Structure formats: structure tokens, C-alpha cells
Amino acid sequence: MAMSDQASSPSAGLTVSHLSLAFGGLKALSDVSFSVAPGSITAVIGPNGAGKTSLFNCISGFYRPSAGAIEFDGSDISKFHPPARAKIGLARTFQNIALFRGMTVLDNIKLGRHAHMRTNVFDALWYFGRARREELELRSEI
Ligand SMILES: Nc1ncnc2c1ncn2[C@@H]1O[C@H](COP(=O)(O)OP(=O)(O)OP(=O)(O)O)[C@@H](O)[C@H]1O
Ligand SMILES: [Mg+2]
């Protein structure tokens, strides 16, 4: 994949600059740059094997690109591990559905919010105070 809707200057939103990724001799991403403004919707299209999933894997931190940078809301997140990216608000879904079997739809959705909750394990055990409050707020958002 080689996209170059040249990234604008770093700001709010997502900015991908000159991203490259290779698997051995296979270039999955070659100098990919684009930006996504807050509140906008951007689609990435391309044939099978074009590198779409590889791009999302780089943005969410599952793959480490060989070159380039990723900025989110003005911070360079290129070195952040996936949970740190989730904590600052980057979320993704998977091409092959990745749900927890045996958990309800509600619990699967709630799991995505987990990184943002302040309840610790002890609060949760007693389900009191902040734990209860956060749980009720979360359910009302869903
Ligand atoms: N972990 C990996 N190891 C080796 N090669 C990989 C790996 N992941 C992706 N590739 C290769 O990188 C290229 C891009 O694959 P990718 O899955 O990103 O394409 P895609 O655009 O998501 O395709 P599709 O439309 O089929 O989902 C392909 O040639 C693929 O075989
Ligand atoms: Mg894919």
C-alpha cells in the first residue's frame, strides 16, 4: 500500500506520516501518509493483500513499522504499546470477529471501556462507591 494524501501539520486527530512495513522482502506498507480530522470519517479501501489490516495493526500497535510516525491528538504514539494507545482513546475492531464467547453482548461492549475506568480491583470486589457509580454511568452510555 502506498497512500500519500500528505499529512497536514500535527494537530488533533490522527496523523500517519511516511509509514513503511515489510515482511521479509514483501513491502506491505510503503511511505503511507494521511491524516484524519476529529469528527470526520475516513475509509481505507484496496484489494486483498493491499495492506489495510497491516496499516490498522501499525496504528493500534500490534505491528511495529520499520519507518514513519503516528500521532494522535498531537502526541507521537509510535513507541506506545497497544494498551497505552487504548487508554488515550484509540479503539479498533478486528477483521476476524474477536468476541469473548460466553460473555453477553453488553459485557463484550463494556470491555472496550475497561481501559478508561478508574475502579480498581478492591472497589470492584465490594461493588461500592466509585465502582458502582462508574458501572451505572457506563450502562447508561450504552
Ligand atoms: N504477520 C504477517 N506475516 C507475513 N506477511 C504478512 C503478515 N500480515 C500481513 N502480511 C502480508 O502483508 C500483505 C498485506 O496484508 P494485509 O492483511 O494487511 O492486507 P489487507 O489489505 O488487509 O487484505 P484483505 O483485504 O484480504 O483483508 C499481504 O501480502 C500479506 O500476506
Ligand atoms: Mg485485512
The span from the CA of 68 to the CA of 45, in Å, is: 21
CATH class of 14-87: alpha beta
For residue 48, the ligand closest to its alpha carbon is 1
Residue nearest to atom 18 of ligand 1 (CA): 51
- What's the whole-model pTM score? 0.85
Tell me which residues have their CB closer than 6 angstroms to ligand 1.
23, 26, 28, 46, 48-54, 95
Considering the chain, tell me which residue range(s) the CATH 3.40.50.300 domain(s) occupy.
14-87
The span from the CA of 94 to the CA of 100, in Å, is: 13
Phi/psi of residue 28, nearest 5 degrees: -80, -40
pLDDT per position in the chain (142 positions), as tens?
766 555 545 468 999 999 999 999 999 999 999 999 999 999 999 999 999 999 999 999 999 999 999 999 999 999 999 999 999 999 998 899 889 999 999 889 888 888 888 888 888 888 888 889 988 888 887 7
Distance of CA 69 to the CA centre of its chain: 15
For 43-59, what is the HEC assignment? CCCCCCCCCHHHHHHHH
